[in-house]
Homo-oligomer: A and B are copies of this chain.
Amino acid sequence: MNGRNLIGNEYAEVNTSAFQAINPLTGVTLEGDFFPAQRNDVDEALNYAVKAFTVYKNIDKDSKAAFLRAIANEILALGDALIERACAESGLPVGRITGERGRTVGQLNMFADLVAEGSWVDAIIDSALPDRQPAARPDIRRMLVAMGPVVVFGASNFPLAFSVAGGDTASALASGCPVVVKAHAAHPGTSAMVASAIQKAVLSTGMPEGVFSMLFDNGYSIGEELVKHPKTKSVTFTGSFKGGMALSKIAAERPVPIPVFAEMGSINPVLLLPEALDVRAEQIAEQYAGSITMGAGQFCTNPGLLLGINSAALTRFKQTLVEKIAEISSATMLTPGICKNFQDLSAGMLQEKEVTLLVKSEKQVEGANNQALATVAEVSAKDFLANPKLKEEIFGPWSLLVVADDVAELEEVLEYAGGQLTLSVMAEGAELKNYKSLLDKAEDITGRILLNGVPTGVEVCAAMQHGGPFPATNDSRFTSVGTTAIRRFVRPLSWQNWSPELLPSALQDGNPLNIWRLVDNEMTK
């Protein structure tokens, strides 16, 4: 395992002190020395990226697709060693990491398919109208073009699917932008292995050197330097509100501001409608006990806010939820810092006025470090509305049940809760029509609304919106999951009266790429 910084196709010389990875479950220091990058490494990675960009942005779509598929194959070729290392560094179980590898590889292949098909460039052609009065109309053609180097911050909670070769990297490379990854310090070995897989794919498919680089840092300075660097054109980040806002601020204050796509957290409200509780309170409780505790609750879409109207059925829901949560063993959190935060914040929340503990699992796994015990608390809607602290996210297996007196209070709570990634509605089909105004409010505050399901387990597909109104993200117009994630790294460019042979092939007469295009306001292929 090479723990040096990968810049272009080479590993940079190092003169910083190494750091190591620690197994959060055992506390054991793992094999491998990793070397924080320095400022000149940032410069070099971005200089390479800009140089690569001049070639990579114009590479034909089939070669780009082949590159993405090669990355997927090289990741698979890392075999069990990757699974073992990712489990050791994250504390996540083998099944989960294996599934996550499948998702990672699936995402890369999905973007390869998207790129190979080609219509994502949103080609629009308005033909010349030489005889138009009072003035002729020139020929105008427009498509999306790559903006340049993207800095990707690896996320801790998806050491494969939202890290070095995760959805951000896959969509950025698919768009035609080079990528510089800031590896997450919690899983440097996993990062190094995946980076080596990408490096192999770059070489085997003949991609320009610098289309991918990866830098380590166990502090904040390299990340900041990457965002400040004049050659960086955009940034992706999945993490805390504080982290996302700090990066957004740095990006906005640059001489030339750039977009940061920050996914910053969400409490993902769940509306428990009365008839659904009447019919199946116990079943819903069981379903949600699973969703709240899945992956030690370390998901952006974890249901942290359960909302219901006071009733006998809600009491049944509570009883089952308490029973089910009590059965769930403690789980290893990703890092000691995340674990400490979870413990501090959940303990703090329980000390807030009027918040009462419903259940905290006592099934502590013996001899395991960084364990989180699933916890659910309760508060009245009135008290929730009076205390802004109660709507803060607690990252981990935590949920707060907010009990309202009536629908009007539910609506108030939703409006007050603010922007969310997801909002779930548990309802019987027939009752939905009685809650028009409530559902309208629900749609206003979320990026995804779902019926009779759990928000965890985000599908990777074209119709997915994983992003939502502030503060869930800093820009609800974009998604970090699904094919449309590619739109974050491109901008439209129009060619007017341009030389036919110099036009990008997507815009040429005769549609040589056989893609969907809007030609004179008609969609055609």
Nearest CB of B to A171, in Å: 15
- Given A147-B476, A525-B523, A451 and B516 contact (CB-CB distance below 8 Å): no
A132-166: contact bitstring with B at CB < 8 Å (1 yes, 0 no)?
A: 00110110111001011000000000000000000
Residue of B nearest to A117 (CB): B521
Assess whether B257 is in contact with A474, with CB atoms less than 8 Å apart.
yes
A119 at the interface (CB under 8 A from B): yes
Measured between alpha carbons, how far is A10 from B135 in the docked complex, in Å? 40
A29 at the interface (CB under 8 A from B): no
Which B residues lie within 8 Å of A453 (CB)?
138, 496-497
Measured between alpha carbons, how far is A389 from B463 in the docked complex, in Å? 48
Assess whether B523 is in contact with A447, with CB atoms less than 8 Å apart.
no
Contacting residue for A494 out of B256, B444, B449, CB 8 A: B449
Measured between alpha carbons, how far is A112 from B91 in the docked complex, in Å? 55
A27 at the interface (CB under 8 A from B): no
Which B residues lie within 8 Å of A145 (CB)?
443
Assess whether A54 is in contact with B142, with CB atoms less than 8 Å apart.
no
Nearest CB of B to A124, in Å: 4
- Given A470-B256, A476-B491, A484-B492, A499 and B429 contact (CB-CB distance below 8 Å): yes
A residues 435-486 with Cβ under 8 Å of B?
439-440, 443-444, 446-453, 457, 459, 461-465, 467, 469-471, 474-477, 479, 484
A30 at the interface (CB under 8 A from B): no
A386 at the interface (CB under 8 A from B): no
6 residue pairs, one from A and one from B, having the closest CB atoms: A450-B496, A465-B494, A140-B463, A142-B463, A448-B494, A126-B463
Which B residues lie within 8 Å of A439 (CB)?
502
Assess whether B450 is in contact with A138, with CB atoms less than 8 Å apart.
yes
A residues 91-139 with Cβ under 8 Å of B?
99, 113, 117, 119, 124-126, 134-135, 137-138
A250 at the interface (CB under 8 A from B): no
- For this complex, 14 residue pairs linking A to B, each with C-beta atoms less than 8 Å apart, are A54-B440, A113-B521, A142-B464, A145-B443, A147-B476, A248-B252, A252-B252, A429-B499, A432-B499, A439-B502, A449-B494, A449-B496, A451-B499, A463-B494
Which B residues lie within 8 Å of A462 (CB)?
124, 126, 142, 518, 521
Assess whether A140 is in contact with B474, with CB atoms less than 8 Å apart.
no
Nearest CB of B to A507, in Å: 9
Nearest CB of B to A302, in Å: 16
- Given A450-B138, A494-B448, A502-B432, A463 and B124 contact (CB-CB distance below 8 Å): yes
Which B residues lie within 8 Å of A499 (CB)?
429, 432, 451
Nearest CB of B to A119, in Å: 7
- Given A54-B440, A142-B464, A432-B502, A493 and B459 contact (CB-CB distance below 8 Å): no
A497-508: contact bitstring with B at CB < 8 Å (1 yes, 0 no)?
A: 111011000000
Central interface residue in A99, A449, A477, A518, by most chain B CB within 10 Å: A477
